[in-house]
């Protein structure tokens, strides 16, 4: 199937109308150098994802340049748009809306409905939820928009890139609400101001915003499972390293949260979270067998689960060991974990 690509940023669309609408808002002006070949990339502030490999193909996130050999030693610098808490954590454009209707037959069905059906509180919500998820998936095909990942240590949490360049931990439901609200706001704005959308697309976008605002909280439940699956599928491969300053996060199953990236919420809760040597012993005794997980990953997961700082967690674990509260099979593990905090 033929695709249409933006010459500036490399985003691809299945229909020329989607590309035309995207070009009206594309701001890609930066340059990157790969093996002495300059390539255009979006000029945005954020973190750098550095990809290395001996036989990688230059991705659409950089550019589609015909005279570049497709197999090169490459380092792709992708500047991610930071997450904002004011419902601006995602920004769809008219090209995304056109692409959503082009891809999804159910959404085209929604666009063909009369206004009464589009706003019907019994019929419309399933279409609206599907439209919003489709738009989020389309936007996240652009690596510069991927400012959110699942937290491998907790399936009900996500990692989001903040403006200050650090990763923050948020509850999954809160992140879903912000993403959906951001999409709803853009649907209304584009339905009013963007003349590249045809009448049925503008009507569908406007009505979807109206239906969503009737009961925003209900859409968290409607989209939770599909959003979790989408974020899991979006996780970078093992050869991708997310870099922020001098600290690193590896966004795969063995992700390690360093001290710099421990959630602020855990530090704030430390003043009132009750955590005793009994809690420490129970946590260790009831955890998965040691050989099933790397020690660094286990340590980070257990500390985050307790919601306290590492020093206090270690001290309570040592108290539990002194009081013989840790079962013999886990004493060596507990001792090793406590020693890791000391180091």
Confidence of residue 177 (pLDDT cuts 50, 70, 90): very high
Mean pLDDT, residues 292-319 taken together: 83
Q: What is the separation, in whole angstroms, between the first and last Cα of the chain?
A: 55
If asked whether residues 187 and 301 sit together in one domain, one would say no
Q: What's the pLDDT score for residue 174?
A: 93
Instruction: Please give the Cα distance from 64 to 12 (Å, whole number).
Output: 10
If asked whether residues 302 and 237 sit together in one domain, one would say no
Instruction: Please give the Cα distance from 255 to 259 (Å, whole number).
Output: 13
Confidence of residue 310 (pLDDT cuts 50, 70, 90): confident
Residue 248 half-sphere exposure toward CB, CA atoms < 13 A = 8
Q: Quote the domain boundaries for residue 333.
A: 262-342
Number of structural domains in the chain: 2
Mean pLDDT, residues 326-335 taken together: 86
Q: What's the pLDDT score for residue 28?
A: 55
CA-based torsion, 63, 64, 67, 69: positive or negative: positive
Mean pLDDT, residues 310-339 taken together: 86
**Which one of 221, 256, 291 terminates a domain?**
256
Query: Could you read off the pLDDT of 229-257 as tens digits, one per residue?
Result: 999 888 765 444 444 332 333 333 333 33
Instruction: Please give the Cα distance from 102 to 118 (Å, whole number).
Output: 18
- Exposed, middle or buried, 30 (CB in 10 Å: 0-12/13-18/19+)? middle
If asked whether residues 86 and 23 sit together in one domain, one would say yes
If asked whether residues 178 and 313 sit together in one domain, one would say no
Sequence-distant (≥ 6) Cβ neighbours of residue 3 within 8 angstroms:
12, 13, 14
**Which one of 256, 286, 320 terminates a domain?**
256
DSSP character for 109?
Answer: H
**Which one of 256, 276, 300 terminates a domain?**
256
Q: Is residue 14 within a helix (H) or strand (E), and if so which, with residue range?
A: none
pLDDT surpasses 60 at 61: no
If asked whether residues 273 and 241 sit together in one domain, one would say no
Closest CA to 213 of 175, 183, 247: 183
The mean predicted confidence, pLDDT, of the chain is 74
pLDDT surpasses 90 at 130: yes
If asked whether residues 287 and 170 sit together in one domain, one would say no
Residue with the two structure tokens 């015909």: 66
Q: Do residues 101 and 201 touch, judged by C-beta distance below 8 A?
A: yes
Q: Is residue 225 within a helix (H) or strand (E), and if so which, with residue range?
A: helix 218-233
Instruction: Please give the Cα distance from 39 to 63 (Å, whole number).
Output: 6
If asked whether residues 130 and 277 sit together in one domain, one would say no
If asked whether residues 267 and 241 sit together in one domain, one would say no
pTM of the model: 0.54
If asked whether residues 5 and 97 sit together in one domain, one would say yes
Q: Do residues 59 and 76 touch, judged by C-beta distance below 8 A?
A: yes
pLDDT surpasses 50 at 264: no
Instruction: Please give the Cα distance from 264 to 234 (Å, whole number).
Output: 25
If asked whether residues 310 and 178 sit together in one domain, one would say no
pLDDT surpasses 80 at 202: yes
pLDDT surpasses 90 at 179: yes
If asked whether residues 147 and 194 sit together in one domain, one would say yes
If asked whether residues 246 and 171 sit together in one domain, one would say yes
């Amino acid at each position: 199937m033929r695709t249409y690509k933006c010459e500036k940023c490399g985003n691809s669309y299945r229909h020329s109308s989607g590309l035309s609408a995207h070009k009206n808002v594309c701001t890609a002006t930066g340059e990157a150098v790969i093996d002495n070949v300059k390539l255009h990339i979006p000029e945005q502030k954020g973190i750098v994802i550095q990809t290395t490999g001996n036989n990688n193909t230059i991705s659409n996130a950089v550019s589609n340049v015909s005279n570049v050999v497709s197999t090169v030693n490459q380092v792709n610098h992708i500047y991610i748009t930071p997450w904002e808490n004011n419902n601006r954590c995602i920004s769809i454009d008219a090209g995304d809306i056109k692409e959503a209707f082009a891809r999804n037959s159910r959404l085209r069905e929604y666009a063909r409905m009369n206004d009464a059906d589009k706003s019907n509180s019994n019929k419309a919500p399933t279409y609206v939820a599907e439209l919003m998820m489709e738009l989020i998936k389309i936007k996240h095909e652009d690596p510069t928009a991927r400012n959110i990942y699942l937290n491998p240590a907790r399936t009900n949490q996500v990692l989001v890139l903040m403006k200050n360049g650090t990763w923050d931990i948020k509850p999954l439901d809160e992140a879903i609400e912000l993403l959906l609200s951001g999409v709803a706001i853009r649907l209304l704005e584009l339905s009013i101001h963007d003349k590249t959308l045809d009448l049925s697309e503008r009507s569908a976008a406007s009505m979807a915003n109206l239906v969503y605002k009737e009961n925003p909280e209900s859409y968290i439940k409607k989209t939770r499972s599909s959003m979790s699956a989408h974020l899991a599928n979006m996780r970078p491969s093992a050869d991708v390293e997310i870099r922020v300053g001098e600290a690193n996060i590896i966004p795969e199953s063995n992700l390690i949260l360093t001290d710099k990236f421990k959630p602020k919420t855990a530090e704030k809760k430390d003043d009132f979270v009750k955590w005793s040597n009994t809690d420490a012993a129970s946590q260790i005794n009831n955890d998965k067998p040691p050989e099933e997980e790397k020690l660094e990953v286990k340590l980070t997961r257990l500390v985050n689960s307790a919601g306290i700082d590492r020093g206090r967690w270690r001290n309570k674990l040592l108290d539990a060991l002194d009081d013989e509260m840790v079962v013999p099979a886990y004493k060596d593990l507990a001792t090793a974990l406590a020693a890791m905090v000391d180091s």
